[in-house]
């Protein structure tokens, strides 16, 4: 099995910065695409940023130029640096990892979420 643990969520003022981290552990053979999603109250979960195993990245238009996704494949971690935060960035942030286990199973794994609140 694969477990994901996110950290770094907090209450911050508009214009501030936060760094989210997500570490995958368990019987991991390899990780592939790693992503961050977010879900605000009453809204659908949306993709924020994605990074492939080769390091290619893509971002939602709403966060381009403010957020940066990075990964350390050796440590099975993915990070999200969030700068110039806005109140509309308030949401629960989830990481998702496409991973293959030591038994050969490949699938998507989700973390439990970390709350980011941006005050105006």
Mean residue pLDDT across the chain: 97
5 in Cβ contact with 22 (< 8 Å): yes
**What does the pLDDT average to over 108-114?**
97
Confidence of residue 108 (pLDDT cuts 50, 70, 90): very high
Rounded to an integer, the average pLDDT of 86-98 is: 98
Buried-exposed string 44-63: b where 16+ CB fall within 10 A, e elsewhere: eeeebbbbeeeeeeebeeeb
Instruction: Give the per-residue pLDDT at 1.
Output: 87
Read off φ and ψ for residue 89, nearest 5 degrees: -85, -5
| 107 — pLDDT class (breaks 50, 70, 90) | very high
Cβ-Cβ contacts under 8 Å for 52 (sequence gap 6 or more): 32, 33
pLDDT digits (tens, 9 = 90+) for 17-66: 999 999 999 999 999 999 999 999 999 999 999 999 999 999 999 999 99
Distance, CA of 64 to CA of 73 (rounded, Å): 23
CA–CA dist 10, 55 (Å, integer): 27
Check whether 104 has a pLDDT greater than 90: yes
User: Residue 93 pLDDT > 90, yes or no?
Assistant: yes
Q: Which tokens is 103 given?
A: 């038994």
């Amino acid at each position: 099995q694969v477990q994901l643990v996110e950290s770094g969520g907090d209450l911050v003022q508009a214009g501030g910065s936060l760094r989210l981290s997500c570490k995958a552990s368990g019987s991991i053979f390899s990780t592939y695409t790693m992503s961050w999603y977010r879900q605000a109250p009453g809204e659908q979960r949306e993709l924020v940023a994605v990074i492939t195993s080769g390091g290619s990245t893509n971002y939602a238009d709403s966060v381009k130029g403010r957020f940066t996704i990075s990964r350390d494949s050796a440590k099975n971690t993915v990070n999200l640096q969030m700068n110039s935060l806005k109140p509309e960035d308030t949401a629960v942030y989830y990481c998702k990892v496409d991973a293959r286990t030591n038994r050969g199973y490949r699938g998507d794994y989700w973390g439990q979420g970390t709350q980011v609140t941006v005050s105006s």
